[in-house]
Chain A
Amino acid sequence: MKFIVCIKQVPDVTSLLRVENGRIDTSAGRMALNAFDASAAEGAIAFAERCGGEVHVVLAGPPEAEGALRKALAMGAAAGVRLQVREGDAPPVGQACAQMLADHLRTETFDAILCGKQAQDTDAGVTPAMLAALLGLPFVGNAIALEPDPDGRSDNHLLVTRQADARQEITRIQTPCVVSCSNNMCDPRIPNIRSVMAARKKPIRTKIMETPVGLPALAVQRYEPMPGRPPARMVDEPWDEALDVLAPYVKIPSGSPAP
């Protein structure tokens, strides 16, 4: 199987971020490989190690975002592509980003495209399904496991376990396909020094593209701090304040003896 994993660099959400005049100030924080994309990369790399195959990574972003590509290469991907918009073009957002990835992926060969299920900054999670729709490929979202087809006759299928709202579904999906991955699929490996050094020699190609235009309009007007909650009231035994909240919900089966 040949996998292409779409990855994004995001501000580390656990670092110090502040809103200032309606914008999020990320200057004090670090940038990181989106955690869900790291799981997608790990899923692909582990699959290829187990069953054969190779893993490539693609990222849309400025030169500073190359760190995320290097990270994926250090984890075990073979090569990377960075999609860069033409000088003067606006950075692609929303559907424009999916369109740009799709335009690139149409020029590549692959069996499966993996994405993280969402980005930790926008928490939107719409790009994977957009990609599948743009490329006309079958799609499974929120995968927690990836296996080869047990019916080993053909290697043009994958078995994908999906966490749905109320059940788990194991789907047999025909390749080429698009799968979005949960971080519950696997914990991304932490590359050792040797892999980090080796990754420096792996190829990263830069591809200049036009920002797709004329796509549905959508704008963040401003960011705000989350509405806070009043501080907790700490309660001690006999915990009456807390238990009085719960008491109305108590279901005592009728006829059962009182304790």
Chain B
Amino acid sequence: MARLLVFVEIRKRHITRPSLEALSRCREIGGKSVAAAIASDAPAASFEALARYGIEEAFVATDPVFAPDSSIPQGAPLAAALVRIAEQAAPDVVVLPSGETAREILGALAVRMAAPALPDVSRFDVFEGGVEAARPVFTAGFMARVRAEGAPVLVSLRGGSYAASEHPAASPLRIRDVPFAFDEKQSRTTLHKVSAGTSGGVDLAEAAVVVAAGRGVRDEQGKRLIEELAALLGAAVGASRGAIEAGLFPAASLIGQTGKTVSPDVYVAVGISGALQHVAGMADSRTIIAVNKDPDAPVFRHATYGIAGDLYEILPAWIKALKKKAAASK
């Protein structure tokens, strides 16, 4: 049975949803031969969640460099810790949740482990001696079926590709402490300043519903409508490049090839034309509802439900109607 090692990303003391999805997929493939890799200043906080997701073994590199307020950019220490962990765990496959962290370290891991890397896959299977996967390419215009052989093979898994499902472990979590100490002088980088970058409190990668604004949202009034609808739905706020260029939404809310890949239960695209670079980041959403005043907008080619009309008239009516529906169902 192939041994799978999953890098578990921790943000604000919580395991990210894409990490839980990766754990769940690996458990589906590998059963008991799945281990978690954790790099943290305080790893114990995550152990209970790992056990809930059926993980029985965790390799842990503990170092103050991984503290949330660390002054060292995380790429170099994370890559170093994962190389260490992989030496000890000797996995056949290493899976990372896709995202900017994985993008920053995957190439370094490939070089240092002399391993093939399959970035941003949306499906993968393990066979004796390697991995077969599907990954969107050409701005998500085509799907490439790829195959890599080696031990380990590195894979980064797009969020939303598999469901995160709890499955309590049969036996208690075994902790393997991996000796690790990061030499800060090696890093040659320091964090000069950090700024929070998303609007609203809900994390895009975690959200069940995303309300995304495009250039059609042209002013503060439109922004308030987006935020009001998002708050009502407990949704995260996303944006297209058009909306960010207009200066109404922060760059961290960008969805698409340059921005984030999201796959919520429901994606509401408001005043977004549906350029392929945007669609590349949201096409895997379960249900897509698009509002656009142009009935021929390309976004309707990707939507489940299309509404041709002016968002400035539609959103206020929706907010009212949704409140009414919710009150009626109580």
Binding site for B on A (CB under 8 A): 11, 13-14, 17, 19, 24, 94-95, 98, 117-118, 120-134, 138-142, 144, 159, 162-174, 177, 182-184, 215-227, 229-239, 241-247, 249-252, 258-259
Known: A133-B107, A234-B307. A163 touches B100 (CB 8 A): yes
Contacts of B268 in A (CB 8 A): 246
Is B189 a contact of A140 with CB atoms below 8 Å?
Answer: yes
Is A247 a contact of B329 with CB atoms below 8 Å?
Answer: yes
Contacts of B141 in A (CB 8 A): 13, 17, 226
B93 interface hit (Cβ, 8 Å)? no
- Which one, B107, B135, B143, contacts A130 given CB within 8 A? B107
Is B192 a contact of A229 with CB atoms below 8 Å?
Answer: no
Q: Using A19-B142, A124-B117, A124-B119 as known contacts, list a sample of 6 further A-B pairs with CB atoms less than 8 Å apart, ordered by residue number in A.
A: A123-B136, A171-B192, A234-B300, A242-B305, A245-B289, A246-B266
Known: A123-B139, A140-B73, A173-B189. A129 touches B251 (CB 8 A): no
Is A216 a contact of B150 with CB atoms below 8 Å?
Answer: yes
CB distance from A3 to the nearest CB of B (A): 18
Q: Which of A11, A24, A242, A247 has the most CB of B within 10 A?
A: A242
Is A243 a contact of B325 with CB atoms below 8 Å?
Answer: yes
With contacts defined as CB atoms under 8 Å apart, how many contacts are there between chain A and chain B in the complex? 289
Is A122 a contact of B266 with CB atoms below 8 Å?
Answer: no
Is A245 a contact of B104 with CB atoms below 8 Å?
Answer: no
Q: Which of A24, A122, A130, A244 has the most CB of B within 10 A?
A: A130
Is A165 a contact of B137 with CB atoms below 8 Å?
Answer: no
Give bound CA distance, A159 to B190, whole Å: 10
Is B146 a contact of A172 with CB atoms below 8 Å?
Answer: no
Known: A125-B119, A172-B190. A141 touches B145 (CB 8 A): no
Contacts of B326 in A (CB 8 A): 247, 250, 252
Is B305 a contact of A233 with CB atoms below 8 Å?
Answer: yes
CB distance from B265 to the nearest CB of A (A): 8
Is B138 a contact of A166 with CB atoms below 8 Å?
Answer: no
Binding site for A on B (CB under 8 A): 11, 73, 75-76, 79, 99-101, 103-108, 110-112, 114-120, 132, 135-150, 187-198, 203, 205, 208-209, 231-235, 241, 244, 251-252, 254, 257-258, 260, 266, 268, 276, 283, 287-290, 295, 300-308, 314, 317-318, 320-327, 329-330
* Beta-carbon nearest neighbor of A125 in chain B: B103
22 A-B pairs with CB atoms under 8 Å apart are: A95-B110, A120-B257, A129-B107, A132-B107, A134-B111, A138-B76, A138-B187, A138-B189, A162-B100, A163-B252, A166-B197, A168-B194, A168-B197, A172-B190, A184-B241, A184-B254, A216-B148, A221-B132, A232-B304, A242-B305, A243-B325, A258-B324
Is A225 a contact of B258 with CB atoms below 8 Å?
Answer: no
Q: Which 3 A-B pairs have the closest CB atoms?
A: A129-B107, A216-B116, A258-B327
Give bound CA distance, A30 to B174, whole Å: 55
Contacts of B252 in A (CB 8 A): 163, 165-168
Contacts of B244 in A (CB 8 A): 184
Is B116 a contact of A169 with CB atoms below 8 Å?
Answer: no
CB distance from B287 to the nearest CB of A (A): 6
Give bound CA distance, A219 to B143, whole Å: 14
Give bound CA distance, A247 to B71, whole Å: 43
Give bound CA distance, A254 to B247, whole Å: 34
Is B192 a contact of A166 with CB atoms below 8 Å?
Answer: no
Known: A171-B192, A258-B327. A226 touches B142 (CB 8 A): yes
Give bound CA distance, A159 to B308, whole Å: 45
Known: A140-B73, A224-B143. A238 touches B321 (CB 8 A): yes
Give bound CA distance, A227 to B284, whole Å: 10
Give bound CA distance, A237 to B309, whole Å: 10
Is B289 a contact of A246 with CB atoms below 8 Å?
Answer: yes
CB distance from A51 to the nearest CB of B (A): 17
CB distance from B68 to the nearest CB of A (A): 11
Is A139 a contact of B251 with CB atoms below 8 Å?
Answer: no
CB distance from B64 to the nearest CB of A (A): 18
Contacts of B317 in A (CB 8 A): 237, 239
- Which one, A171, A183, A259, contacts B323 given CB within 8 A? A259
Is A133 a contact of B111 with CB atoms below 8 Å?
Answer: yes
